[in-house]
Amino acid sequence: MKHLHIHIMAALVAMAGLNACENDDQYTLDDIKAMVPDTISICWNGNSVAVEGDVAGYVTCDNGYVTVNSTAQRQLTYVLSGTTTQGQLLIYGQKKLELVLNDLNITNPTGPAINNQCGKSLFITCPAGTTSTLTDGADYDTSLSIDQKGALFSEGQIYFRGAGSLSVTGHYKNAIASDDYIVMDSTATCTLNVVSTNGNGVKANDGFFMYGGAMDISVSADGAKGIKCDSILTMTGGDLHIATSGNVVIETVDGVADASSCAAIKVAYVLTMAGGNMTLESSGDGGKGINADQDVVMTGGTLNANCTGEKVEDDEGETISNPKAVNSDGHIYLSGGSFNAYSANGRATDCAIDDIQSDRYPTIIGTPTTRTLTKKRVVVVF
């Protein structure tokens, strides 16, 4: 492949030289770089890395640790493959990019497996028939002056697409994290398996949107969330399964106990469901299925939320965390789909209390075919 690079550069230089006879200012160095392919291939073999197609010299390697520092003014595609148990992909750039995970297996004992420092869109494609894994370590190198928030981290948006399989395991903070929003594309049929042993499964600052594909999230850390979204969460398609098994975390401040419980989904704004299948399980004490700071709105799809943990009391015997299948600090509005919430030792649903909604049950809009409203189980099917 090295000879191919030489031939490409020679051809481009010859092209520029011939045209210069007609117009000395016709081609700049950037023009020549723009003529090269938009795809760069990176393959790990332990601590050895093979790079192809990097005519512009964007990629540097230090054993298994690869840094991309792109000045390209167009979208580039990086095809990633191979295996390393001590490596990383660290990306800098100004334009959106695509990562094609072609049976890629990266473990980084001291940080993220993939760390995208570009604030633009990151498209992650899992081709059909491929299986890739990304794993971080329990201890990060915190001396670095860059964000490192998960095994797969991006400063910009993350879009998942394709038909393959990707497993992401987080041991330090989050498994998958974006300082922007995360999207499961409507065309996706890929499967994401997400495991977190010391933090959240998925953390999204500006929204989580699921339009297709399948995502299975397992979180075992105390007080952690399957999906923690600091903005809106929307689901219109696909299959989402989340299981949390951690217990509540209790901190005492000025003599007052404050509890932070596990939740399959913790959303800071409105959660909207219009399609797809959502299955949520919380087995830890005080755990929640959905814990929303604003409204939960369901117009379609199938939601099953099941909590089996016990309530949590302080030293005085006062309850400080109750297990709830669907909890909203606003209201729960149901007008379509299938809603099934169960809590073995707490309320199935709980929402804002006012003159209209004093019983804490969902607001039902329309005429469902099934309607069961009890403290421990709420079933509404249209």
Per-residue pLDDT of the chain in tens (382 residues, 90 and over written 9): 444 443 444 444 444 443 443 444 566 656 655 555 699 999 999 999 999 999 999 999 999 999 999 999 999 999 999 999 999 999 999 999 999 999 999 999 999 999 999 999 999 999 999 999 999 999 999 888 899 999 999 999 999 999 999 999 999 999 999 999 999 999 999 999 999 999 999 999 999 999 999 999 999 999 999 999 999 999 999 999 999 999 999 877 776 667 889 999 999 999 999 999 999 999 999 999 999 999 999 999 999 999 999 998 877 777 888 999 999 999 999 999 999 999 999 999 999 865 454 568 999 999 999 999 999 999 999 9
Handedness of CA 82, 87, 92, 96 (dihedral sign): positive
Query: What pLDDT score was predicted for residue 317?
Result: 76
Which structure tokens are listed for 380? 């509404």
Task: Check if the beta carbon of residue 79 is closer than 8 Å to that of residue 42.
Answer: yes
Q: Which of 165, 158, 159 is nearest to 127 (CA)?
A: 165
Placement of tokens 């038909």 in the chain: 163
The whole-number pLDDT of residue 313 equals: 81
User: Which is it for the CA torsion 74, 15, 52, 55, positive or negative?
Assistant: negative
DSSP state, residue 2: H
Please provide residue 183's backbone torsions phi and psi, each rounded to the nearest 5 degrees. -130, 130
Contact 41, 5 (CB under 8 A): no
- What's CA 100's distance to the chain center, in Å? 17
Strand partners, 253: 256
Which of 128, 131, 187 is closest to 163 using CA atoms?
128
Integer Cα distance of 177 and 223 in angstroms? 17
β-bridge mates for residue 160, sequence order: 124, 184
* pLDDT given at position 59: 97
Neighbours of 157 (CB within 10 A): 21
pLDDT for the residue numbered 250: 81
Residues pairing with 202 in the sheet = 176, 227
- Provide the pLDDT for residue 11: 42
- Distance separating alpha carbons of residues 157 and 248, to the nearest angstrom: 30
Q: CB under 8 Å to 136, separation ≥6 — which residues?
A: 107, 108, 109, 111, 112, 113, 150, 151, 169, 170, 171, 172
Helices and strands: H and E segment counts in the chain: 2, 37
Counting every residue, how long is the chain? 382
Q: Where are the domains of the chain?
A: 1-36, 39-381
The pLDDT of residue 20: 40
Closest among 370, 365, 372 to 382, alpha carbons compared: 370
What's the pTM value of the predicted model, to 2 decimals?
Answer: 0.90
Residue 35 CB partners (closer than 8 Å, separation 6+): 12, 15
Residue 320: predicted pLDDT = 81
Which two tokens mark 154? 């991006």
- The conformational region for residue 288 under phi > 0 = left, psi -120 to 50 = alpha, else beta, is beta
